[in-house]
Structure 1
Amino acid sequence: MDAIREAQKNLDHAKEQLRQSVRQARREGRTWADIGDMLGMSRQAAFKRFGEVIDPVDGRKITGVPMSLTQIRTRTEQVFDLIATADYEALEQMMHPEVREELSASKIAMVWSSMLTEFGAKESYEDTHVTFPAGERIEEDDQILGTVVGVTTVTCEAGERMGRVAFDEQQRIVGLLVLPPETSPLPF
């Protein structure tokens, strides 16, 4: 147990050292693209993971919100379970108020009915994961600025569809897509 405790302590220290190194690189004038290249990620992913933003209204620092990837994956599948069972009232409660009209029950039902007629009923999910809006996978829980996307393959009786749910920092739905798995580029 001591070895586990020590390894966790070292990991926490390394993460903090990385955050400090990124802040120093920014103070030295390095771009998010430079930092992203060094870390093997896009500039947006680097910014969302390490960026600091000042609210122009009150001058306070806007910090990232700790994201549990397990929670986001679970909520992603929950969204499609609610759609598959036509529980639009529960689905609406998960939505950001500003998208409720755009993602109305009638629109969602129409898209789901079309999917049912083409591919049959939902059977399972595969490869449910979390990405930044640009598509890069997020591999570990971290403090992240802004929107993340839960992605899953919805396996149906006669085919598959990619399900994408954009979540804001309070894990409210701000976008919802059902697309062919090979769709590219993605709108979010």
Structure 2
Amino acid sequence: MTDKNVLVLVGSLRAASINRQLAETALAHAPEGLTLSLYEGHGALPLYNEDLDVEGRLPASVVEFREALGAADALLVVTPEHNGTVPANLKNAIDWSSRPFGEAAIVAKPVAVIGTAFGQYGGIWAQDETRKAFGIAGANVLEQRTLSIPHSLVRFAETHPNDDAEIVTQLTAFLDEFAAELAKLDEDAAAA
């Protein structure tokens, strides 16, 4: 597999977010061949408004975000669950990533979604909704590549995910599967 640049989006904007900590742990344990880069700018995106989405007059934050997406080989989303669904800033980023329709940088881009949340299901509703929205936007959503970690506030109350051996093992296995899936996509594309 050729080296893959993976853009990482965190669904929570809080500096102390457990999902941010999980993303940092992913960066620390990325397998050879995957370069993960945490994207910090999606919180600066204005709410999606078609009146703002005009070529040549796009807000700088949108241009930067779309360029980062375009330069990435894949996207990894690490998200909590807000009121049983996708955090607003993440949904907004998905909306900006989906334009221009049919030509957006997200079209056919491999996307995987993981995360942790307080509830017993680990944010699975938000993850499912995120996959659905990216799929509708045209991304190649890797449905089988998942990781949901329940009871985040209790589990990580005094422990960073990087210091939890079980989580590191699960995350490393996920990243290995993600890398293998990206390699398979390359092989399929070469064979086509």
TM-score of the two chains, using structure 2 as the length reference:
0.21
Q: Which has the higher contact order (CA 8 A, sep 6+)?
A: 2
More strand by share: 1
Q: Please say which structure displays the higher CA radius of gyration.
A: 1
